[in-house]
Amino acid sequence: MRKVVALFEKNPPNLSIRKVAQKACSKTFVERVKKQANLKTYKVQKVPDRNAVKNQEAKNRSQKLTSDFFTKFDCCVMDDETYVLADFAQLPGQEFYVAGSRGNVDEEFRTKKQSKFPKKFLIWQAICACGKRSKFFVASGTINTEIYIKECLQRRLLPFLREHNVSTFFWPDLASCHYSKATLKWYETNNVVFVPREANPSNRPELRPIERYWAMVKKKLKETKQLTRNATEFSRKWSTV
């Protein structure tokens, strides 16, 4: 028993029950020992790849963001873009099937086809701390400064900001078009209070709820297993989530 526990707790502690059984004894015995030792399996968490310098910089900027904005305004509006596969069934995510033995079900349940170059759409949207979300913008390609200002900021973000009757600031993503000269001029012209680049923490997705929003919507779309052939169909599906 001690040998089995030691194998699980060794560094790195990522051996599966099957691998431990190969080194010790039967799989059934290993499972029993693992349960008796109160050992549990946890999912490895993905974290941004930041060194000590980047971590300190992110910490300093986060503190500045809090002191200069979150403590002085009632609501925060943030935006972002993400790519979504046109075939929702191919969206990333774990899938399972139940059977008496591996492969003992129809192929449609035990395999998942993946296109080599799947079609995808880019979607922009803004959300806020109040729990609201703006109208979205869908594109088949990338978003440059001109498109960002015209379609995202002018047509969608500005009306969204004006819906708020409390003090609000805008926290843009760090994409280059979000801080171009033309974009900065647009912020000034439209009196939009925004987080400047030097106060915007880089590579801190854990601070931005919109990242969890993307994951939640993509999960719901994946459950539909539907295929969208164009931006119009995609927009229709996205609006129903």
**Region of poorest pLDDT, from 21-30, 138-147, 195-204:** 21-30
Q: Are residues 9 and 109 in the same domain?
A: no
What average pLDDT score do residues 175-193 get? 97
Q: Are residues 7 and 63 in the same domain?
A: no
For the purposes of burial, counting CB atoms within 10 Å of the CB of 221, is it exposed (0-12), middle (13-18) or buried (19 or more)? buried
Q: Which residue range is the domain that position 104 belongs to?
A: 52-239
Which residues lie across from 78 on neighbouring strands?
A: 127, 171
Residue 54 — pLDDT band, cuts 50, 70, 90? confident
Q: Are residues 23 and 133 in the same domain?
A: no
For residue 27, the model assigns a pLDDT of 72
Answer whether 210's CB lies under 8 Å from 79's CB.
yes
Residue 74 — pLDDT band, cuts 50, 70, 90? very high
For residue 22, the model assigns a pLDDT of 64
Beta strands in 22-167 (DSSP E): 75-85, 120-128, 137-139
Q: Are residues 109 and 215 in the same domain?
A: yes
Q: Are residues 197 and 221 in the same domain?
A: yes
Say whether pLDDT at 12 is over 60: no
Q: pLDDT per residue over 60-73, tens digit each?
A: 888 989 999 999 99
- Higher pLDDT pick, 241 / 181: 181
Q: Are residues 20 and 56 in the same domain?
A: no
Q: Are residues 29 and 131 in the same domain?
A: no
Residue 201 — pLDDT band, cuts 50, 70, 90? confident
The reply to whether 46 falls in a domain is: no
Q: Are residues 77 and 128 in the same domain?
A: yes
Q: Are residues 32 and 125 in the same domain?
A: no
The reply to whether 212 falls in a domain is: yes
Residue 20 — pLDDT band, cuts 50, 70, 90? low
Q: Are residues 66 and 151 in the same domain?
A: yes
For residue 215, the model assigns a pLDDT of 93
For residue 195, the model assigns a pLDDT of 96
φ/ψ of residue 83, rounded to 5: -95, 140
- Mean of the per-residue pLDDT values for the chain? 85
The reply to whether 105 falls in a domain is: yes
Number of domains the chain contains: 2
Say whether pLDDT at 152 is over 70: yes
Angle at 134 between CA 132 and CA 135, to 5 degrees: 140
| Strand pairing report for 137-139 and 168-171 | unpaired
**What residues contact residue 104 under an 8 Å CB cut-off, 6+ apart?**
none
Q: pLDDT per residue over 105-127, tens digit each?
A: 777 666 666 677 789 999 999 99
The reply to whether 175 falls in a domain is: yes
The reply to whether 88 falls in a domain is: yes
Say whether pLDDT at 189 is over 80: yes
Which residues lie across from 125 on neighbouring strands?
A: 80
Could you tell me the CATH number of the domain that includes residue 126?
3.30.420.10
Say whether pLDDT at 139 is over 70: yes
Q: Are residues 126 and 25 in the same domain?
A: no
Q: Are residues 19 and 91 in the same domain?
A: no
The reply to whether 103 falls in a domain is: yes
